[in-house]
């Protein structure tokens, strides 16, 4: 998209902000000047000696500054008033308090409102004449109380600001009262509420560039609730002495109510046609949230009592706003919690799958364009593409802080340690929550959203030549500049952050729970297995003895009394012996099977060819008898317990002999291939034993691996106890491998097995 030239410039400037270096550097709290409608004395608190005095004391207090400095403050204040001021200063360190004081000026009493604050070892007294008819705080208090009541009925932050602007205007009578909200600590300000006299150009919705309020001014706004300028054309009054002997600097006027503001600011106000102004800070958790700024088109002195009332209102307003914002956040949190619950309800120990597969609820949770779960250096993502270099940078950032730390930015491009990949449409902002100190994290990404802003000044031309050199451009001239802010995503809200953390907390819980459940299950299984093994072992062992007794007894009877017995009885006795023998075989198999569950595996890398050779030493004869040819393909090394593997091959080969087909060319092949096991996962080294024997009917292919399960009766096809394949299966499982088969009746059976992972 191409923009017209001025807009492009405006956009560039709006995105980066601009630097009025001179203005930014000005030490505005050490200008050493006050407004002339009042005067100032700085008095050593310990001795009561005047340290510094404003140069207009002669006119207001009747004694010249030069005469006052070095002398006792009691030349001006009565000892009672001084004692009172000391008491106030001691109690309210940092804050200012107003005392009504009467001073004898040239023989006549004159009333002053003295604002007292402590500045290091000094007590600073700022005196403003008090009109005899001036209303007292009690009067203002009524107004403020009503104003606060009205404030309380506001339900949204915007309504609350609008009500505050209206009330401050009603209290003070300024021509324009606006509420600004700052976009970030040092960002530009937006006019979110306004009350203005008819005929004046409205500012509502306008943005003011960040540089309109330089950082050091923001610091003063944060530290003082209120400041007022009675007349922008006032001739400021200097101090005596102008510089302090100890520091070589003018007196620190940070907390002074009469302090002259920067020449830049005065000129700025003049440029917009403002003659007097006042601003009340709006703080949120100790940080500057915004300002209520008041402008008068004529000079207007706000008396100290009214200032105090406005200050009080400002504090109350800040609290009220916090309450509303918190409620708004709580509501947003409830909504996102509902979404969170949906996600959590389907979380399994496979986080990647349960968070990122399927629909986009996880991404939608934070209204993001993309999401990533990065664990063990591997990122799984959904939605927009995230450049690998960005993932790596985030991983570095995630390593270190405690798990559960949330970090976010809506301007990734401004992060020094994060490489931009320069592509349009990539992530402009990220919110991540760390999962481990080794750099695992969950992150959401948002695309850049071009935001159209109406600027009160052309943000591309902030500085203009004026009578005193480079000056701020006139504001409020009716010209509104539109500029689009780019490279920035929608800001992450406190709710977004809270939601991400909540998800982290729940996930930790879920994963831990899954792990605990798994551990408990494993333990249970281990106990059950070993119970079963020892039961089988003991039973098999103990049964062998009486069985041998039965068999022997039958043998004796046959031997000793054969002549006296009839043929049927003899045949039955023989059957009895044969059955006892068979039962003995079964018990042997069972004993062997049970023993397999005990003892560890001794796994090494073994050449499969060698194992096949030794298996053939046992099975070879059976195979030869059955005319089955053995074909051993190129056999590599496998990682297994050699003795157990030998047993597997013996069983499979003997079966190939037992269940050989009727054709002439009978074969059993042994080979190794890389195959995907039926349970899924990546392809693995697989041993294959394939015969062309009688095959196994499809419906019975699962049964053959069960203990004592045979498809052929004893004696049929070489007999057997039905334990062979169960043993094979158990051995393979103990290796962490898988056993499966493929068979077609009449064509043959193929047995496949893997042997688990090396090091697994
Ligand atoms: P058995 O001692 O009966 O051989 P196995 O556990 O080794 O016991 O095998 C179980 C059953 O599976 C056998 O009875 C047989 O019916 C079938 N079977 C095993 N191997 C094969 C094979 N290679 N071909 C066809 N059937 C087989």
Nearest atom in ligand 1 to the alpha carbon of residue 705 is 6
pTM of the model: 0.56
> 3-state SS of 165-186?
HHHHHHHHCCCEEEEEEECCCC
Ligand 1 atom with the shortest distance to the CA of 656: 23
Is-same-fold flag (135-234+259-345+450-492; 602-753)?
Answer: no
Helix (H, G, I), strand (E, B) or coil at 310: helix
Residue 71 or residue 352, greater confidence: 71
pLDDT over 70 at 490, yes or no: yes
Q: Which of 186-190, 293-297, 678-682 has the highest mean pLDDT?
A: 293-297
Residue 99 near residue 304 (C-beta atoms within 8 A): no
Band (580; pLDDT cuts 50, 70, 90):
confident
What is the whole-number distance in angstroms between the Cα of residue 709 and the centre of ligand 1?
A: 8
Residue 606 CA, ligand 1 centroid: distance in Å: 27
Ligand 1 centre distance from Cα of residue 758 (Å): 30
Q: Ligand 1 pocket test: which of 590, 655, 732 has the largest number of ligand atoms within 8 Å of its C-beta?
A: 655
- Cα(476) to ligand 1 centroid in Å equals 95
Q: Which fold has domain 135-234+259-345+450-492?
A: Beta-Lactamase (3.30.450)
Q: How far does residue 636's CA lie from ligand 1's centre (Å)?
A: 27
- CATH for 602-753? 3.30.565.10
Conformational region of residue 438, where left means phi above 0, alpha means psi within -120 to 50, and beta covers everything else: alpha
Q: What is the pLDDT at residue 511?
A: 67
Least confident of 189-193, 264-268, 528-532: 528-532
Q: What is the mean pLDDT of residues 174-198?
A: 89
Burial code of 630-641, b = ≥16 C-beta within 10 A, e = fewer?
Answer: beeeebeebbbb
Residue 72: DSSP 8-state: B
At residue 21, the pLDDT reads 44
SS3 for 387-443, per residue?
Answer: CHHHHHHHHHHHCCCCCCCEEEECCHHHCCCCCCCCCCCCEEEEEEEECCCCCCEEE
Q: Tell me: pLDDT of 140 over 80.
A: no
3-state secondary structure of 144: helix
Cα–Cα distance between 91 and 97 in angstroms, integer? 10
Of 691, 724, 726, best ligand 1 pocket probe by most atoms within 8 Å of the beta carbon? 724
The dotted CATH code for 348-448 is 3.30.450.270
Task: Sketch the domain layout of the chain as residue ranges.
Answer: 33-129, 135-234+259-345+450-492, 348-448, 526-594, 602-753
Distances (CA, A) of 652 to 420, 635, 647, 673: 60, 17, 9, 17
Looking at per-residue pLDDT, the higher value among 141 and 485 belongs to 141
Calculate how far, in angstroms, residue 509's C-alpha sits from the geometric centre of ligand 1: 48
Neighbours of 349 (CB within 10 A): 13
Please give all residues whose beta carbon lies within 6 A of any atom in ligand 1, as ranges: 651, 655-656, 658-659, 691, 693-696, 704, 709-712, 720-726, 749
pLDDT band at 144 (very low <50, low <70, confident <90, very high): confident
Q: Average of pLDDT values for 269-292?
A: 88
* Atom 7 of ligand 1, nearest CA residue: 724
pLDDT category at 83 given cuts 50, 70, 90 is very high
Average pLDDT score over residue span 3-26: 42
Class of domain 33-129: alpha beta
**Distance (Å) from CA 711 to ligand 1 centroid:** 7
Least confident of 32-46, 136-150, 285-299, 605-619: 136-150
pLDDT digits (tens, 9 = 90+) for 18-38: 344 444 455 666 678 999 999
Which of 88-92, 336-340, 570-574, 618-622 has the weakest average pLDDT?
88-92
Rounded to the nearest integer, the mean pLDDT of the chain is: 82
Place of tokens 């970030």: 184
Cβ proximity of 255 and 117 under 8 Å: yes
Which of 355-359, 427-431, 474-478, 516-520 ranks highest by mean pLDDT? 427-431
Q: Whose CA is nearest to atom 11 of ligand 1?
A: 710
Ligand 1 centroid distance, CA of 726 (Å): 10
Q: Look at residue 26 in the predicted model and tell me its pLDDT.
A: 58
Q: Span 300-304, mean pLDDT? A: 90
Which segments of 108-194 does DSSP mark as H helices, in order?
137-152, 157-172
Per-residue pLDDT for 4 more than 50? no
pLDDT digits (tens, 9 = 90+) for 263-279: 878 887 888 789 999 99
Measure the CA angle with vertex 124, ends 123 and 128; round to 5°. 140
pLDDT at position 335 = 82
- Omega within 30 of 0 (cis) for the link into 504: no
User: CB of 472 within 8 A of CB of 268?
Assistant: yes
**Residue-level pLDDT at 18:** 37
Would the pLDDT of 7 be above 70? no
């Amino acid at each position: 998209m191409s923009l017209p030239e001025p807009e492009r410039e405006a956009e560039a400037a709006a995105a980066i902000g601009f630097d009025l270096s001179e203005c930014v550097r000005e030490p505005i709290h050490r200008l050493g000047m006050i407004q002339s409608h009042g005067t100032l004395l700085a008095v050593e608190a310990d001795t009561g000696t005047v340290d510094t005095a404003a140069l207009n004391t002669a006119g207001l207090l009747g004694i010249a500054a030069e005469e006052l400095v070095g002398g006792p403050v009691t030349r001006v204040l009565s000892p009672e008033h001084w004692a009172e001021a000391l008491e106030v200063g001691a109690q309210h360190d940092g804050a200012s308090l107003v005392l009504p004081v009467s001073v004898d000026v040239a023989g006549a009493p004159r009333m002053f409102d003295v604002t007292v604050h402590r500045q290091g070892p000094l007590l600073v007294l700022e005196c403003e004449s008090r009109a005899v008819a001036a209303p007292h705080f009690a009067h203002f208090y009524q107004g403020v109380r009503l104003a606060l009541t009205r404030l309380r009925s506001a339900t949204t932050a915007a309504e609350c600001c609008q009500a505050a602007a209206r009330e401050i205007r009603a209290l003070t009578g300024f021509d324009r009262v606006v509420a600004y909200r700052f976009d970030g600590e040092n960002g530009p300000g937006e006019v979110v509420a306004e009350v203005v006299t008819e005929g004046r150009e409205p500012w509502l919705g306008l943005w003011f560039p960040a540089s309109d309020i330089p950082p050091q001014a923001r610091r003063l706004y944060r530290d003082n609730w209120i400041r007022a300028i009675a007349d922008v054309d006032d001739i400021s009054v200097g101090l005596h002495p102008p510089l302090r002997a100890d520091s070589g600097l003018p007196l620190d006027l940070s907390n002074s109510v009469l302090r002259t503001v920067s020449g830049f600011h005065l000129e700025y106000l003049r440029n917009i046609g403002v003659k007097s102004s006042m601003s009340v800070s709006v703080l949120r958790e100790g940080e500057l949230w915004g300002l209520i700024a008041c402008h008068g088109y004529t000079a207007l002195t706000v008396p100290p009592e009214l200032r105090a009332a406005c200050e009080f209102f400002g504090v109350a307003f800040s609290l009220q706003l916090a309450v509303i914002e918190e409620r708004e956040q709580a509501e947003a949190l409830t909504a996102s919690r509902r979404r969170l619950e949906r996600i959590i309800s389907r979380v399994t120990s496979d986080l990647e799958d349960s968070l990122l597969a399927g629909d986009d609820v996880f991404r939608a949770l934070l209204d993001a364009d993309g999401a990533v779960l990065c664990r063990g250096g591997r990122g799984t993502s959904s939605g927009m593409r995230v450049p690998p270099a960005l993932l790596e940078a985030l991983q570095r950032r995630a390593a270190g802080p405690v798990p559960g730390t949330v970090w976010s930015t809506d301007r990734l491009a401004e992060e020094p340690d994060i490489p931009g990949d320069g592509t349009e449409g990539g992530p402009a902002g990220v919110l991540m929550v760390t999962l481990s100190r080794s750099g695992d994290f969950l992150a959401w990404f948002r695309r850049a959203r071009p935001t159209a802003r109406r600027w009160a000044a052309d943000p591309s031309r902030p500085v203009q030549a004026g009578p005193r050199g480079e000056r701020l451009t006139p504001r409020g001239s009716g010209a509104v500049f539109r500029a689009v802010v780019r490279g920035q995503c929608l800001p992450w809200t406190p709710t977004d952050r809270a939601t991400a953390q909540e998800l982290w907390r729940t996930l930790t819980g879920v994963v831990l729970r899954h792990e605990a459940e798994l551990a408990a299950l494993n333990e249970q299984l281990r106990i059950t297995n070993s119970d079963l093994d020892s039961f089988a072992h003991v039973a098999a062992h103990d049964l062998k003895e009486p069985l041998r007794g039965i068999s022997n007894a039958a043998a004796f009877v046959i031997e000793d009394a054969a002549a006296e017995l009839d043929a049927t009885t003899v045949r039955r006795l023989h059957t009895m012996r044969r059955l006892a023998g068979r039962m003995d075989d079964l018990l042997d198999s069972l004993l062997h099977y049970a023993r397999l569950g005990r003892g560890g595996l001794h796994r090494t890398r073994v050449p499969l060819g060698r194992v096949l050779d030794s298996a053939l030493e046992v099975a070879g004869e059976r195979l030869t008898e059955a005319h089955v040819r053995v074909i051993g393909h190129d056999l590599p090394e496998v990682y297994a317990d050699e003795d157990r593997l030998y047993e597997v091959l013996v069983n499979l080969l003997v079966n190939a002999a037992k269940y050989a087909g009727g054709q002439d060319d009978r074969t059993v092949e042994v080979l190794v291939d890389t195959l995907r096991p039926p349970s899924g996962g990546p392809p693995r080294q697989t041993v294959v034993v394939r015969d062309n024997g009688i095959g196994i009917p499809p419906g019975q292919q699962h049964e053959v691996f069960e203990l004592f399960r045979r498809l052929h009766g004893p004696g049929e096809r070489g007999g057997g106890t039905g334990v062979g394949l169960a043993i094979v299966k158990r051995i393979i499982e103990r290796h962490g491998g898988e056993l499966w088969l493929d068979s077609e009746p009449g064509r043959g059976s193929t047995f496949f097995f893997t042997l688990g992972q090396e090091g697994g």
